[in-house]
Structure formats: structure tokens, C-alpha cells
Amino acid sequence: MFGIELQDGWTIYIWLISGAAILIGVVFGIRWAANNEQFDEDIKYLVFDENDKDKMDPEEFKKSREVNAKQEARRKELLAQREAEARSQN
């Protein structure tokens, strides 16, 4: 078809190389996610705001407010860090 003819038995090597490449990609993806705080169990609370107070248990609402405040503080910290890095590069 394309002028390339492999002998019998070469397809297993193609599958092995493809599988290894996928596994390496997965490892790098998981490593990136772990380094960038993507495995946070409390992330589900970030979709709630003050208007959801009547729809939630008081404990859940309190937890959502705590998580939201923590995330906002972390966001401000990261933005300040990026701004400082940008200033130092200029």
C-alpha cells in the first residue's frame, strides 16, 4: 500500500512501542496533576456560592465557604508569585 512491507512478527513491536509511549504519557500526566494541585478532594465545593445556602446542610455550606476562602487565598498567592516572576524577568 505505502511501499513499506514489514516481515511477520513486527506488529508486536509496534504495539509494545505504542503501549510504552502511552504509559510514559500517563505517568507524566499524573505527575503534572500532582504538582499542580489537581487531586483535591474538596474541589467539589467550589461550584457553590452564597445562593446555595438554603440547599445545603449547614455543615456542608460551612465547608464550602472554608474551601472557597482557601482556594481564593491560594489563587492570590499564585498570581502574586507570577507577577513577581514577571517583574524579575523584565
pLDDT in tens, 35-74: 988 887 887 888 888 888 888 888 988 999 999 999 899 9
- Residue 82 exposed, middle or buried by CB count within 10 Å (0-12, 13-18, 19+): exposed
Reply yes or no on whether the pLDDT at 7 is more than 70: yes
d(C-alpha 5, C-alpha 8), whole Å: 9
Domain containing 60: what range? 43-90
62: closest CA among 77, 76, 37, 42?
42
Q: Flag whether 8 is in a domain.
A: no
Please tell me the total count of domains within the chain.
Answer: 1
Q: What is the pTM of this model?
A: 0.56
Q: Flag whether 58 is in a domain.
A: yes
Q: Flag whether 85 is in a domain.
A: yes
Q: Flag whether 18 is in a domain.
A: no
